[in-house]
Amino acid sequence: MMTTGIDVTVKKREPMVVASLAIKGPYNQIGEAFGKLYGWISKKGYIPAVPPVVVFFNDPKQVAEDELLWELRCPVAGFAEAGEPDEEGCGFKLVEECTIASLVHKGPVDEIWITYQALKGWISSNGYDIVGPPEEAYLAKSEDTPPGETLTEIRFPVHKK
């Protein structure tokens, strides 16, 4: 796979407290789950910041749809203290500092796998190991943006070999 000429960024992610909601089940629940998390954030008196993120803990090619584990994370404006999730499954959690390699996907979600492949190839070819689950940060809302203009930042936590 050709991995030269792509605009991969390697950067340090600072530790931060985010609102989170862990989910088990199909990815087609992402929109509904974000609605639940944003409602919870608002009820708690916070304002969501950007970008919202989904972290994928297993691979849909290896796990049944109803067994998929993923988590929504949303930064909030102001100070929030990390703690256990409440009865709704929502809570604030600390996301640890790490180094991430990222690549922005522009276009429809059904073509995002191409960007994943390019980023994984770049990581491998440039002396890094993937050390955590992939994340998608949504830089442009797909419901407000034509499919060809949607921006999603694909991220992998990495460590230099």
User: What is the residue-averaged pLDDT of the chain?
Assistant: 92
Tens digits of per-residue pLDDT, 85-143?
A: 999 999 999 999 999 999 999 988 889 999 999 999 999 999 999 999 999 999 876 56
Q: Which pLDDT value is given to residue 37?
A: 97
Name the CA dihedral angle for 112, 6, 75, 39, rounded to a multiple of 10 degrees: -20
Mean pLDDT of 4-10: 83
pTM, whole model, 2 decimals? 0.91
Question: Residue 24: inside a domain, yes or no?
Answer: yes
Domain membership flag for residue 149: yes
148 pLDDT exceeds 80?
no
**Number of domains comprising the chain:** 1
Residue 7: predicted pLDDT: 92
> Does a structural domain hold residue 72?
yes
Q: Which domain holds residue 124?
A: 9-160
**59 with 144: CB under 8 angstroms?**
no
Q: Does 1 map to a domain?
A: no
* Segment 35-46, tens digit of pLDDT: 999 999 999 999
